[in-house]
C-alpha cells in the first residue's frame, strides 16, 4: 500500500476527512473481469473497502446434467468447465472413472496424456500471462503469447480435430492415436517456444512499470492461502511448495525429473501478484522439460486395448484430483452400479481461488483489483460450471 493512501486512511480514521462510500459494479460486462463475473466494489475514493464477487452468470448445471448421462457422455461436459485447460479436465475425470473400475491404461496412453496435459498447461498459462499483461496495460505481450498458443492448438487439432474442446481422453484410453509426425511437431514447438519465454520476460515480467504495478500488491500469506484452500500457482506463489503432480502422483509424473516452482518474493513480498505471475512463467519451462523427457522415451503400442466395451463401474465412490493449470481439480464420483453416475461433484480451483479475493483486495486501489483478479487467473466456465 502506498504512503499517500495510508496518510489518507489515517485522516479518515481520525475524522478529519468526511467521506462517503461508493458502490461500483464491475462486470458482468467489463473488459477485465475475464468473463461474466460481477464484482461489487465498495469504494472509498479510489481505495477499495470491500469486494463482493457475484457468480452464476455462466451456470450450466454440470453436476445435475452428469447424473442423466452415461459415464463417457460426461467427458464433453468436463471440457466446458475450464475451457482453457480442457485436456486436464478430461484427464481428471478419466482417471476417476478408471480408478473406480480398476482399469490400467497402456504405457503409450499415459505418455500421450502427459504430453497433452503439459502442452495444455503451457497454452493455459500463456493465456493467463498474456491477459494479465493486458490488465496491467501492456497489449503487445498478449499477442506474442497467443501467437505461441496457436502452435499448441494446431498440434491438438491435427491429433483430435478440435482446438478448444477436445473430448480426447476417454475412460481407459484416448479418442484417437496421435497423428503422424506428432513427436516432431511437439519437439519443434518446444524449440520455438523457449525463446518466447525470454521475450516475454524482457518485455513484460522484468519491466520496471510492470514490477511497480504487481510487486507488493494483493499479498496472500501462506497461512491464508492454505486456510482458504487455494491451490495451483496461487498457492505456490505464496511460497507453499505443493504440487499434486509430485505430492499425490498420478499418471506417470514420478518418472520425470522436474521442479516445483514457488514464489520467492524476488520483487517484493512473497505471495504478491508478481510472484503468482512468475510461478506461471517458470512452470511453462518445467512443462517443457517434462515434455522433452516424455518424448525421449515415447513408447509404441495400441491405445485402444484398455477401453472397456461397457462402462458400468461397480458400486462405490472415489475422489480423484489432478493438478490443473489453475490448481487442484477434483472429481468426486459416486457409482450405484448403473451406467449413469449417481453423482459427479467437481471441485474447481478457480472457484476456490476466487473466494480469497476480498481478503487480499482490501485497502488497495481500483487498479490493483484488476491486477489481483488477473493474477488469480479465473476461468468463469469453471467458477460457475
Partner 1 sequence: MESLLQSLLGDNLLTLVLYCALPLVFLLLYALLAILGEVKISAFMQDRLGPMRTGPWGIIQPLADVLKLLQKEDVTPARADKFLFNLAPYLSFMAAYAAFAVIPFSSQYVGADLNLGAFYFLAIGSLNVAAIMMAGWASHNKYSLYGAMRSVAQIVSYEVPAAMMLVIVVLFVGSLNLQDIITAQSGPFWNWMVFGGPKADVQLASGEVLGASWTNLVFLPLFLGAFLMYYITALAETNRTPFDIPEAESELVSGYHTEYSGMKFAMFFMSEYANMFLVSAVTAILFFGGWNSPFGVYLGDIWDAQWLVGLEQFGWLAFKGLFFVFVIIWLRWTLPRLRVDQLMYMCWKVLIPFSFGIALIVGFLVVVLK
Stretch that binds partner 1, among 224-232, 245-253, 280-288, 361-369 (CB under 8 A): 361-369
Q: How far is the CB of 380 from partner 1 (least distance, A)?
A: 16
Q: Which of 11, 17, 21, 22 is in the footprint of partner 1 by CB under 8 A?
A: 22
Per-residue contact flags (x/-) with partner 1 for residues 137 to 176, judged by CB under 8 A: xxxx--xx--x-----------------------------
Stretch that binds partner 1, among 22-30, 120-128, 160-168, 224-232 (CB under 8 A): 22-30
SS (H, E, C) the chain: CCHHHHHHHHHHHCCCCCCCCEEEEECCCCCCCCCCCEEEEEEECCEEEEEEEECCCCCCCHHHHHHCCCHHHHHHHHHCCCCCCHHHHHHHHHHHHHHHHCCCCCHHHHHHHHHHHHHHHHHHHHHHHHHHHHHHCCCHHHHHHHHHHHHHHHHHHHHHCCCCCCCCEECCEECCCCCCCHHHHHHHHHHHHHHHHHHHHHHHHCCHHHHHHHCCCCCCCHHHHHHCCCCCHHHHHCCCCCCHHHHCCCCCHHHCCCCCCCCCCCCCCCCCHHHHHHHHHHHHHHHHHHHHHHHHCCCCCCCCCCCCCCCCCCCEEEEEEEEECCEEEEEEEEECCCCCEEEEEEECHHHHHHCCHHHHHCCCEHHHHHHHHHHHCCCHHHHHC
Binding flag, residue 17, partner 1 (CB under 8 A): no
Among positions 88-147, residues that touch partner 1 (CB under 8 A) are 133-140, 143-144, 147
Stretch that binds partner 1, among 117-125, 156-164, 207-215, 332-340 (CB under 8 A): 207-215
Question: Judged by CB, which is closer to partner 1: 133, or 348?
Answer: 133
Among positions 209-248, residues that touch partner 1 (CB under 8 A) are 209-210, 212-213
Q: How far is the CB of 233 from partner 1 (least distance, A)?
A: 20
Question: Judged by CB, which is closer to partner 1: 121, or 364?
Answer: 364
Q: Which of 204, 307, 354, 383 is in the footprint of partner 1 by CB under 8 A?
A: 204
Binding flag, residue 55, partner 1 (CB under 8 A): no
Total residues at interface with partner 1 (CB under 8 A): 33
Q: How far is the CB of 166 from partner 1 (least distance, A)?
A: 26
Provide the binding-site residues for partner 1, judged by CB under 8 A: 2, 4-5, 22, 24, 30-32, 46, 133-140, 143-144, 147, 203-204, 207, 209-210, 212-213, 365-370
Amino acid at each position: 500500500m502506498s504512503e499517500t493512501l495510508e496518510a489518507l486512511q489515517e485522516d479518515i480514521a481520525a475524522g478529519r476527512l468526511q467521506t462517503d462510500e461508493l458502490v461500483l459494479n464491475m462486470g458482468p460486462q467489463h473488459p477485465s473481469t475475464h468473463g461474466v463475473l460481477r464484482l461489487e466494489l465498495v469504494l472509498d475514493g479510489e481505495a477499495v473497502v470491500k469486494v463482493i464477487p457475484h457468480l452464476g452468470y455462466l451456470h450450466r448445471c454440470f453436476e445435475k446434467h452428469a447424473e442423466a448421462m452415461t459415464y463417457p457422455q460426461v467427458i464433453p461436459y468436463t471440457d466446458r468447465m475450464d475451457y482453457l485447460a480442457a485436456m486436464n479436465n478430461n484427464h481428471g475425470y478419466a482417471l476417476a472413472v478408471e480408478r473406480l473400475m480398476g482399469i490400467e491404461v497402456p504405457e503409450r496412453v499415459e505418455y500421450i496424456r502427459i504430453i497433452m496435459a503439459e502442452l495444455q498447461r503451457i497454452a493455459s498459462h500463456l493465456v493467463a500471462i498474456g491477459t494479465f499483461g493486458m490488465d496491467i496495460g501492456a497489449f503487445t505481450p498478449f499477442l506474442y503469447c497467443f501467437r505461441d498458443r496457436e502452435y499448441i492448438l494446431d498440434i491438438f487439432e491435427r491429433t483430435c480435430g478440435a482446438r478448444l474442446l477436445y473430448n480426447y481422453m476417454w475412460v481407459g484410453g484416448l479418442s484417437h492415436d496421435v497423428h503422424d509426425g506428432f513427436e516432431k511437431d511437439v519437439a519443434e514447438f518446444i524449440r520455438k517456444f523457449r525463446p518466447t519465454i525470454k521475450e516475454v520476460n524482457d518485455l513484460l515480467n522484468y519491466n520496471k512499470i510492470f514490477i511497480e504495478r504487481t510487486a507488493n500488491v494483493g499479498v496472500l500469506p501462506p497461512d491464508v492461502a492454505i486456510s482458504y484452500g487455494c491451490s495451483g500457482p496461487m498457492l505456490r506463489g505464496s511460497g507453499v511448495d505443493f504440487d499434486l503432480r509430485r505430492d499425490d502422483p498420478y499418471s506417470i509424473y514420478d518418472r520425470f525429473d522436474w521442479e516445483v516452482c514457488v514464489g520467492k518474493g524476488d520483487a517484493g513480498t512473497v505471495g504478491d501478484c508478481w510472484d503468482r505471475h512468475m510461478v506461471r512463467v517458470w512452470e511453462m519451462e518445467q512443462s517443457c522439460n517434462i515434455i522433452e523427457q516424455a518424448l525421449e522415451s515415447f513408447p509404441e503400442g495400441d491405445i485402444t486395448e484398455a477401453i472397456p466395451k461397457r462402462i458400468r463401474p461397480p458400486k462405490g465412490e472415489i475422489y480423484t484430483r489432478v493438478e490443473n493449470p489453475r490448481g487442484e481439480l477434483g472429481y468426486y464420483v459416486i457409482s450405484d452400479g448403473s451406467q449413469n453416475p449417481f453423482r459427479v461433484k467437481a471441485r474447481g480451483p478457480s472457484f476456490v481461488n476466487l473466494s480469497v479475493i476480498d481478503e487480499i483486495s482490501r485497502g488497495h486501489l481500483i487498479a490493483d483489483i484488476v491486477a489481483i483478479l488477473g493474477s488469480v487467473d479465473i476461468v468463469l466456465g469453471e467458477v460457475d460450471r
